[in-house]
Structure 1
Amino acid sequence: MVTSGDIPGLGLPDIDAHSPLTDLGPVELHQPAQDLDGDGVVDSITDSDAHGTSVWSDYDQDGIADHVTVVESDGDYAAWEYHRHPDGTSEWRRTDQGNLGE
């Protein structure tokens, strides 16, 4: 679930594979370090702790995360995409979820 705490140093929301992200708005990515789409531009930040790993990506290079994937230590995973609507609203849509062991 989304909590009020941030991951130290990265300023990213603390989410897990069961988070609905309904109350999460845009997430700024500061200083991405990986190039996940292979276009030569760094676009992603990866963070890991004892509970799992999250990967936040900004593929359109506007400074706002477009995609996030979480894989937890128990194998639960989920992915979301950030959508901006013409009327100015936005939302995170879950695109995948499950367990790596199933």
Structure 2
Amino acid sequence: MSTFEEYAALARNLAAQQRAGEHGAAAEAERQRDLGAAVEYLDRRLTAQGQRLDQFGRTIGAAPGSPPVSGPPVAPGTPAASGFSPTSGPPATSGNGPGTVGT
């Protein structure tokens, strides 16, 4: 049979585990509150950004929620249709600057 000292040690151990569980639950509740506050903050920022974008759209004459306006139509097979233009890429060199071979 167990002695009183063993019983007291088990009771202390159980009390310590209960306190640890309560601290863990309190920490989890605080984390949940912080997470909820962050979600609310980000939601308010996102709503404000959407309102500003709608205002900018009205300023330039675009309806809210309409697709973005693209440039003029491009005929198939033209450089602009392929994504390359004569001005894309690095600037041309004259042949007598750095990077030329055999000069």
Where relative contact order (Cα < 8 A, 6+ residues apart) is larger, the structure is 1
Give the number of the structure whose alpha-carbon radius of gyration is greater: 2
Greater share of residues in helix: 2
Greater share of residues in strand: 1
- With structure 1 as the length reference, what TM-score do the two structures score? 0.13
